[in-house]
Structure 1
């Protein structure tokens, strides 16, 4: 176990640094492009170094070509004065070679072993100078050559070549490289420093935002100023403000809920204590003791029901995202709830029944949590049982329906009763926690319908209430759940 702990610490991924990532993405291309810049600079330097020395080679070839004269028998003659020959080879750095060949390939002057132009090289017009790279006695040389036709009868032109080693060119190219790259060596650290300072300056607003958030009091949920941050950070600040607003609403709701819950539990608990005190009085008769015990029982039942409803509401508010979803047959769930509630309905003399499609009917299934959905249906049915009176003259009737709309294929569930109904102004208020309709003379926690709405919203359903029998003395209530819409 100890070694596993060490492995976790060793391979634990370090937290990413936004500053470091930006710096990496800015400096990495710079460091990768720098060698490419060196190579390109070297190529450019080679071209620049070749140009002046190539011109000198061309001039020498043209000067030698002027010394070729026509001779007897279609032959050519070449004569180079000694001073000119010495001047041609007077180079302190590089070795200079030259060669003159006649029309038949015979050697006229210069170095015999100077390589000839490639066989596929175009001869071009007379006196047109060409440049090539070649090798002479193991040394790389730059060669300028031209073909010369003295008259139209000449079948083969004469060849004049001048070659020079590349030492001066390499020295000049190296000087160009130094002149270009040495400043870059000095500028590269400066560029890195400037990038570093720019990043420090660029992320400073984030540090200031962090300081403002840290300086806040724990109970300060006011929105952050999204105008004092950069444009790129503004969406993050807006999202944080939205989160703060929702958190503020949640805290307000929780505080109100706790206050209401404490108020609701205070009454039955106070009744329990009072009845217990009455039962403990000296001189109480057996009849008084029984009445106190009955009151204690009713108060405990009321307190238990309120606590259960509070737990159900808490589970409904937090269970939609935590509990797994599955395909639920609403007809089967409704049947289970009706079987559970039937004894209580019979005790009150109520007619509790079901109308609608059969179990397994296509379209009667929803994706949801069966526990929450069953709790939702149970609250609707128990609410109807609780508020629907039943007398020998007029029996209370409660009907649960599960229907599938033939046009929209939407699933609809209804719980209908023939009780006193809910006045129109109060039909939206009854879905608020701890609200109870006036004039019913029935005790309740006021939490059943809020639980129904919360579970319905989590399952993408809407809930509404209407009069079941318009125009009658007891219009009743019809609660409708329509799945597939929010």
Structure 2
């Protein structure tokens, strides 16, 4: 703030100088006009000839000022000098601007800057307008202007340093709480994500501190989720890895080819389970961390679901499961939602894999796509005729690593969590219900409802 004050000070002095010039000129301009009006009374017509009668009173009027010189001139309509100074500069205005109207201008007479008052006299007893000018040097005006400047500058020389000092003290006092806040933040431990105390902070930065506290709260929740995720992931990987090690040690001791083959089969199943868990973990991490950074495009949901179903046919045939698709072959372009094709395909694949895993041999799995042309709403459904999920556990199965009780299916408990995460990133909602509520095997129908005519904003990409 000191730099702007120092820059404004010369500007203030310059403005004061111009104002002082105007203030000093006004009273002297009025006096000069009065003198001109008094001298015009001495212009007379003598038998058609203009004359200027310079009496003693007029001489005293022209010599009344000891500090400034006064010049005058009287010129008739023909441009002949009647009285006064012959080298007086003529005005630039047209003659006869109005009877008795007095004009003012700045000019130079004999090398001196003067203030000139002039008028044209258009009397009936003269042969035309008579020009009369009275000029006065600017000594008194400059003296008065300088006095005004001194009267303004001297207080400014005192007030400006005092203002700078007061501003400095105010800023130091005002910034002290910010310095204390900075020290409190710097003194924090790296793992301390508790909110900043808002009782002793300046009011001006209260919204900033509140925003920081909100960020710390969300960061703490995110780190807590990551720690829990890593702990659960380590626990999930520990079991298949331990099984691999045990089966490998047993295989090394076996001499019977049949037992050795059984151990190798166990190793193969354990490695497949570990691979599946790792793939699921990577898919969930990609959905949570990089889904928003991946490119998005218009997606034909019908074709995407058909592609996933065709890829899953070999697994369905191996498990003797009837896997099918119901819906249009392709969607019209106006119903294509915005999304990331990799993530959406991963979501559909997890729904289909989850249904194939839990419906059991001889089961039926159906994937379908429903669409409403008028509202633009699209619904992806994957249903099976398996044991289903109890209603009180449907929110829990959306959490990572949670598995419904009573199932003997190998899995990591991440499939539906991945579906939930990808659906949220695309502005969609996930709903679960019984596919066959009238049967003993109620089955499960998972519906993913996409928003109408979803765009980039709704998709969150």
Question: Residue in 2 aligned with 1:239?
Answer: 211
TM-score, normalised by the number of residues in structure 2 = 0.83
**Which string of whole-angstrom CA distances, capped at 9 and with x for unpartnered residues, describes residues 334-369 of structure 1?**
222222211111111111111101124445533222
Question: Residue in 2 aligned with 1:409?
Answer: 376
Are residue 120 (structure 1) and residue 100 (structure 2) matched?
Answer: no
Q: Please show how residues 81-96 of structure 1 align to structure 2 within 5 Å.
A: 81=56, 85=59, 88-89=62-63, 91-96=65-70
Q: Point out the more displaced range, 86-95 or 319-328.
A: 86-95
Per the TM alignment, residue 202 of structure 1 is displaced from its structure 2 partner at its CA by 3.7
Q: In structure 1, what is the Cα distance between the partners aligned to 2:76 and 2:294?
A: 101
**Which string of whole-angstrom CA distances, capped at 9 and with x for unpartnered residues, describes residues 192-245 of structure 1?**
454444444444433332221111111111111234333332222222112111
TM-score, normalised by the number of residues in structure 1 = 0.79
Check conservation: 1:467, 1:475, Cα contact below 8 A: yes
Are residue 328 (structure 1) and residue 299 (structure 2) matched?
Answer: yes
SS in 2 for 1:377: helix
Higher relative contact order (CA 8 A, sep 6+): 2
Q: In structure 2, what is the Cα distance between the partners aligned to 1:438 and 1:472?
A: 20
SS in 1 for 2:366: strand
Q: 1:168 to 1:416 in 2, by over 3 A?
A: same
Per the TM alignment, residue 50 of structure 1 is displaced from its structure 2 partner at its CA by 3.0
Per the TM alignment, residue 168 of structure 1 is displaced from its structure 2 partner at its CA by 2.6
Q: 1:301 to 1:67 in 2, by over 3 A?
A: closer
SS in 2 for 1:221: coil
Check conservation: 2:430, 2:448, Cα contact below 8 A: yes
SS in 2 for 1:232: helix
Q: 1:167 to 1:268 in 2, by over 3 A?
A: same
Are residue 475 (structure 1) and residue 419 (structure 2) matched?
Answer: no
Q: In structure 2, what is the Cα distance between the partners aligned to 1:376 and 1:341?
A: 14
Correspondent of 2:266 among 260, 284, 295: 295
Question: Residue in 1 aligned with 2:71?
Answer: 97
Gaps of 5+ in 2: 453-457
Q: In structure 2, what is the Cα distance between the partners aligned to 1:309 and 1:356?
A: 28
Per the TM alignment, residue 464 of structure 1 is displaced from its structure 2 partner at its CA by 1.4
Check conservation: 1:75, 1:103, Cα contact below 8 A: no
Q: In structure 2, what is the Cα distance between the partners aligned to 1:158 and 1:385?
A: 118
Question: Residue in 2 aligned with 1:396?
Answer: 363
Q: Point out the more displaced range, 96-105 or 434-443.
A: 96-105
Per the TM alignment, residue 167 of structure 1 is displaced from its structure 2 partner at its CA by 2.4
Check conservation: 2:96, 2:122, Cα contact below 8 A: no
**Which string of whole-angstrom CA distances, capped at 9 and with x for unpartnered residues, describes residues 365-416 of structure 1?**
33222222111111111111111123xxxx3111110121244221111111
Are residue 339 (structure 1) and residue 310 (structure 2) matched?
Answer: yes
Q: In structure 2, what is the Cα distance between the partners aligned to 1:62 and 1:372?
A: 97
Question: Residue in 1 aligned with 2:16?
Answer: 41
Check conservation: 2:367, 2:382, Cα contact below 8 A: yes
Correspondent of 1:270 among 242, 246, 250: 242
Q: In structure 2, what is the Cα distance between the partners aligned to 1:64 and 1:408?
A: 95
SS in 2 for 1:123: coil
Q: Point out the more displaced range, 175-184 or 253-262.
A: 175-184
Q: Please show how residues 359-378 of structure 1 align to structure 2 within 5 Å.
A: 359-362=330-333, 365-378=336-349
Check conservation: 1:115, 1:136, Cα contact below 8 A: yes
Question: Residue in 2 aligned with 1:250?
Answer: 222
Question: Residue in 2 aligned with 1:20?
Answer: none
Q: In structure 1, what is the Cα distance between the partners aligned to 2:351 and 2:202?
A: 52
Q: In structure 2, what is the Cα distance between the partners aligned to 1:158 and 1:313?
A: 103
Q: In structure 2, what is the Cα distance between the partners aligned to 1:358 and 1:100?
A: 108
**Which string of whole-angstrom CA distances, capped at 9 and with x for unpartnered residues, describes residues 272-323 of structure 1?**
23333333447x6444333333322222222222222112211221221221
Q: Point out the more displaced range, 94-103 or 367-376.
A: 94-103
Correspondent of 1:442 among 399, 402, 409: 409
Q: In structure 1, what is the Cα distance between the partners aligned to 2:103 and 2:281?
A: 100
Q: Point out the more displaced range, 115-124 or 154-163.
A: 154-163
Q: 1:51 to 1:355 in 2, by over 3 A?
A: closer
Question: Residue in 2 aligned with 1:208?
Answer: 180
**Which string of whole-angstrom CA distances, capped at 9 and with x for unpartnered residues, describes residues 135-186 of structure 1?**
4334333345688999x97887988764322223223323322332344355
Per the TM alignment, residue 450 of structure 1 is displaced from its structure 2 partner at its CA by 0.7
Q: In structure 2, what is the Cα distance between the partners aligned to 1:415 and 1:221?
A: 42
Gaps of 5+ in 1: 1-22
Check conservation: 2:52, 2:83, Cα contact below 8 A: no
| Number of positions where the alignment pairs a residue of Structure 1 with one of Structure 2 | 451
Are residue 141 (structure 1) and residue 141 (structure 2) matched?
Answer: no
SS in 2 for 1:233: helix
What's the Cα RMSD here?
Answer: 3.6
